[in-house]
Structure formats: structure tokens, C-alpha cells
């Protein structure tokens, strides 16, 4: 793999993650999104397929290790959001109106989506740091990775 190819793989992985995040946002707002585009397990994502295949070349680089924790956090937050979206809404009671219950649910879902977004941003930042680390390598240094 050349340095140019490696950087291309990294950019494709980042791009696929941003697309995944956009799909999650659409899904949350009620837009139909193909379930295959919203895997619940991080290892099923396109990003993870890069990370656990071509990306393995960079396991000894400092910035590579941070990516896995970020990726796991993104999907942990997404599973929490997914569960909240698929848990039936509570019904009004003597002490709480349906309007208040629905408003609280919406607020909770918005916060969970923000958690997904924030952890996603960390993943993109960690991946960009790896990309920058590779860019700064000379061709000779890069070739020694193999």
C-alpha cells in the first residue's frame, strides 16, 4: 500500500462515518433509512471494516490506538439512542400529562443524539490526527511500516 492509498482509505473511512452519522440524524427525525446503513455494532460499520483491515498497518502509531475507543463510544451512545427510540412512550398518569411526558422524551432523545454527535466528532478528530501523522512521515518512514 502506498502512502497515497493509505490516506485515501482513511478519508473514505471518515467520509463513510459522516454519512452514517447523517443517516442516524435522519432516522431520529423520522426519515426512513435502510437498516443496513445503521449497524448497531461498531464492527459492522464501513469505518470499522477499514480500521480492522487496512488500518491494522498502523497499530503501532500513537493516534491509531485512540480511534478504537472513540469508535466503541460512538456505537455505545448510538445503541442507547436506538433503545430510547424503540422503547414505547410512557402514558399519561394522574400526576403527569401526556404533553409533558412527550416533551421529556423528545428532550432525552435530543440529548442522546447530541451524545452520538459529540462522540462522533471525537472519532473524526482522532482519525484526522492519524491522517496528519501519516502525512508528516517521509515516504521512507511510511514504507518501513510494512
Q: Assign 3-state DSSP to the chain and report helix, strand, coil percentages, each to 5.
A: 75, 0, 25
Residues near 46 by Cβ (< 8 Å), separated by ≥ 6?
13, 16, 17, 20
Q: Specify burial of residue 79 (Cβ count, 10 A radius: 0-12, 13-18, 19+).
A: middle
State the Cα–Cα distance between residues 75 and 20, nearest whole angstrom. Answer: 11
Cell (9 digits) for 62 = 500513537
Residue 41 near residue 75, CB atoms below 8 Å: yes
Please state, as a whole number, how many other Cβ atoms lie within 10 Å of the Cβ of residue 32.
Answer: 7
pLDDT in tens, 24-45: 999 999 999 999 999 999 999 9
Span of 16-20, 63-67, 89-93, 114-118 with lowest mean pLDDT: 89-93
44-61 pLDDT, tens digit per residue, is: 999 999 999 999 999 989
- Give the global pTM: 0.88
Amino acid at each position: 500500500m502506498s502512502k497515497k492509498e493509505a490516506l485515501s482509505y482513511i478519508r473514505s473511512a471518515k467520509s463513510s462515518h459522516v454519512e452514517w452519522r447523517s443517516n442516524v440524524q435522519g432516522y431520529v427525525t423520522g426519515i426512513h433509512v435502510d437498516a443496513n446503513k445503521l449497524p448497531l455494532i461498531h464492527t459492522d460499520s464501513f469505518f470499522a471494516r477499514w480500521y480492522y483491515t487496512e488500518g491494522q498497518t498502523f497499530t503501532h502509531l500513537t493516534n491509531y490506538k485512540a480511534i478504537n475507543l472513540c469508535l466503541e463510544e460512538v456505537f455505545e451512545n448510538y445503541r442507547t439512542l436506538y433503545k430510547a427510540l424503540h422503547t414505547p412512550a410512557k402514558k399519561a398518569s394522574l400526576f403527569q400529562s401526556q404533553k409533558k411526558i412527550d416533551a421529556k422524551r423528545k428532550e432525552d432523545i435530543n440529548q442522546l443524539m447530541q451524545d452520538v454527535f459529540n462522540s462522533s466528532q471525537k472519532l473524526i478528530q482522532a482519525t484526522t490526527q492519524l491522517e496528519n501523522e501519516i502525512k508528516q512521515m517521509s515516504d521512507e518512514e511510511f514504507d518501513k511500516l510494512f
